[in-house]
Amino acid sequence: MAEGAPVKVIARDKITDATAALFTGSVEVPERFIRADEVEAAGAVVGEDETFEMPVVDMASLLDPELSATETAKLGSACREWAAMQQMKDSAAQFFSLPLETKNTVAVRGDSIQGFGHHFSGATSDKLDWAECLLLFTHRRLLGFMAADLGVSEEALQGAFFSGDGDDAVKGQSMSMHHYPPCRRHRHKVVGIPPHTDSPALTLLLQVDDTPGLQIRRGGRWFPVRPTPGCLVVNVGDILDVLTNGEYGSVQHRVVPDAERHRWVQKPQNLVSINRRHFGAVRGILLVDASVNVKFEEGATFVFGSWLCIANHDGKLQRELRDEAVASAPPPAQITPRGSRKTPNFDTISGSYPTRRSTWRQKPSSTRTNDDSGLSLLGGLRIISSIRQSTSVMTVTSVIQEARPRSTLRLVGSVAMVLFLSGQGSFFDKNPDYGNQQGSFFDTNPDYDDQPSSFSTKNSDSARLHQRIVHESS
């Protein structure tokens, strides 16, 4: 370090009762809080009376062939001059009010889930949702436009972010925007989004308006999640379900339209991939260090991956179908847990999935139903502790301190937490052959060298693999 350079002190103090009292309105400010010199030295704040415009980059314009060049230049100048921007501000409502013809310039194509169209998740039949959705792989898109502006190769820039895990890895971050038009005459006969659980570890939903519609299932009934200004709704998703051994069950939810009012929702999401880097890291954090009820010997993680594949069989498998598959599986392989089991909920079941060969573990169906999911409306940043109490939906208030529900940028703090939990990368984009993916994952993963090269459920494999599961003794 250069001589005389300031030493950065990183330390934190607890908020004392005295401080809390201070914050709620005391006029006396103790000396310890006074730092007028620092404030003065740091420079002036832009005056209230001065006007300036923070760049707002519009994703819809970036994607519009006619507007793209201009918008890309704007993105470039935002990055150069501000190194920050407000992206997709107000975009949900704005985008959906464009003429259909314009919206269809970014229509879904082929097998991709990206683009404008109906929602992609949870459809159990050929019925259509009473909703329109725009889904964008935001990270990749933005980097692409930045590369164009910088005049560098897109692959090179993408590659700097994601190293060698294939195309899926760069699709990890996406943004969905939903519009549920009112259904005046037949509201009870249509569904905005049918019941489903979300694949990502956590879903954050930022509602643009205060129209009700989201409902979560609990105790055989649907609980409306009432829109609260400045709140994010956070759903526990399948990946967290799997990573926590089902301790935090993913929540089943659906959306019903309102009779009179439109509803707009923005949903940034990060899908975890079960590739070696991220799954390993997440496993380390959640499954071992966080002292959940079951610990795994090195190499046993594949069981979760397998469960995950079942959960996402053919893009999306409903919870009922998953439970059904487990229920109709052959009798569990004999497992001899080491030590006594802390909770009977974590019994292991193995068997063949009816149409795909896999092994998985699952709570017994008697203890693992859709209704395991709890509902709790919480204030503050109690996300993690709430999740530990098997809470599957929560509303987070103080994450967005100065809530401006229309600004996506406000989400950054909480998204960072999700990133931390879920890593990067996507496994779930339509892949016709999960079998190969499973095989190649473990074949090429040095951490799992001693695993079989595929998820064949030959009994010997299954028994051998399950013997590796160690239940934490109580």
Ligand X SMILES: O=C(O)CCC(=O)C(=O)O
| Contacts to ligand X by CB under 6 A | 121, 176, 178, 193, 198, 205, 214, 253, 255, 265, 267
Residue 253 CB, shortest distance to ligand X, in Å, is 5
87, two tokens: 């992206």
Cβ proximity to ligand X, 106 vs 148, nearer residue: 106
CB atoms within 10 A of CB 417: 17
Contact 214, 233 (CB under 8 A): yes
Helix (H) or strand (E) holding 471: strand 469-471
DSSP annotation string for 169-210: GGG-EEEEEEEE---TTTGGG--SEEEE--SSSEEEEEESS-
CB of 255 to ligand X, least distance (A): 5
198 binds Fe ion (CB under 5 A): yes
| Cα 217 off chain centre by | 19
Residue nearest to Fe ion (CB): 198
Question: Which residue's CB is nearer to ligand X, number 255 or number 421?
Answer: 255
CA distances to 39, 161, 273 from 281, rounded to whole Å, are: 40, 17, 11
Between 198 and 241, whose beta carbon lies closer to Fe ion?
A: 198
> Closest CB to ligand X among 121 and 408?
121
Nearest to 424 by CA among 242, 168, 114: 168
- When CB distances to ligand X are compared, the closest residue is 214
Half-sphere exposure of 164 (CA within 13 A, CB side): 5
Q: Measured from the CB atom, is 198 or 372 closer to ligand X?
A: 198
Name the CA dihedral angle for 28, 29, 31, 37, rounded to a multiple of 10 degrees. Answer: -130
CB of 357 to Fe ion, least distance (A): 29
Q: Of the two residues 134 and 193, which places its CB atom closer to ligand X in the complex?
A: 193
We find the least distance from the C-beta atom of residue 121 to ligand X, in angstroms, to be 5
In single-letter form, the type of residue at position 159 comes to G
- With CB under 5 to 8 Å by kind, the binding choice for 178 among ligand X, Fe ion, none is ligand X
Whole-number minimum distance, CB 200 to ligand X, in Å? 9
Between residues 121 and 301, which has the closer beta carbon with respect to ligand X? 121
Task: Kindly state the smallest distance separating residue 308's Cβ from Fe ion, in Å.
Answer: 17
- Phi-psi label, residue 26: left if phi above 0, alpha if psi -120 to 50, beta otherwise: beta
What is the bridge-based pairing of β-strands 202-207 and 263-270?
antiparallel
- Which residue(s) pair with 267 in the sheet? 176
Query: Which listed option, ligand X, Fe ion, none, makes contact with residue 265 (CB within 5 to 8 Å by class)?
Result: ligand X
**What is the C-alpha end-to-end distance of the chain, expressed in Å?**
49
**Least distance in angstroms from the C-beta of 442 to Fe ion:** 29
Least Cβ distance, residue 214 to ligand X (angstroms) = 4
CB of 142 to ligand X, least distance (A): 21
CA distances from 27 to 21, 30, 184 (A): 10, 10, 54
Q: Based on CB atoms, which residue is closest to Fe ion, 168 or 198?
A: 198
- How far, in Å, CA of 241 to CA of 278, rounded? 16
Q: Closest approach of Cβ 194 to ligand X, in Å?
A: 10
Q: Please, which residue, 78 or 255, has the CB nearer to ligand X?
A: 255
**Nearer CB in complex with Fe ion: 191/294:** 191
- Cα–Cα distance between 174 and 113 in angstroms, integer? 11
Contact mark string toward Fe ion, 92..121, x via CB under 5 A: ------------------------------
The partner in contact with residue 283, picked from Fe ion, ligand X, none with C-beta cut-offs of 5 to 8 angstroms by kind, is: none
21-80: which residues touch Fe ion (CB under 5 A)? none
* Residue 214 binding result from ligand X, Fe ion, none, given CB thresholds of 5 to 8 Å by partner type: ligand X
- Return the one option of Fe ion, ligand X, none that residue 267 interacts with (CB less than 5 to 8 A, by type): ligand X
Residue type, position 270, single letter: N
Among ligand X, Fe ion, none, partner that 358 touches (CB below 5 to 8 angstroms by kind) = none
- Number of residues this chain uses to bind Fe ion (CB under 5 A): 1
- Looking at 198-206, 277-285, 317-325, 459-467, which segment touches Fe ion (CB under 5 A)? 198-206
What is the rounded distance in angstroms from the CA atom of residue 26 to the CA atom of residue 51? 33
What are the CA-CA distances from residue 158 to residues 154, 167, 393, 444 (Å)? 6, 10, 33, 22
- Single-letter amino acid code for the residue at 148: A
Residues at the site binding Fe ion, with contacts judged by CB under 5 A:
198
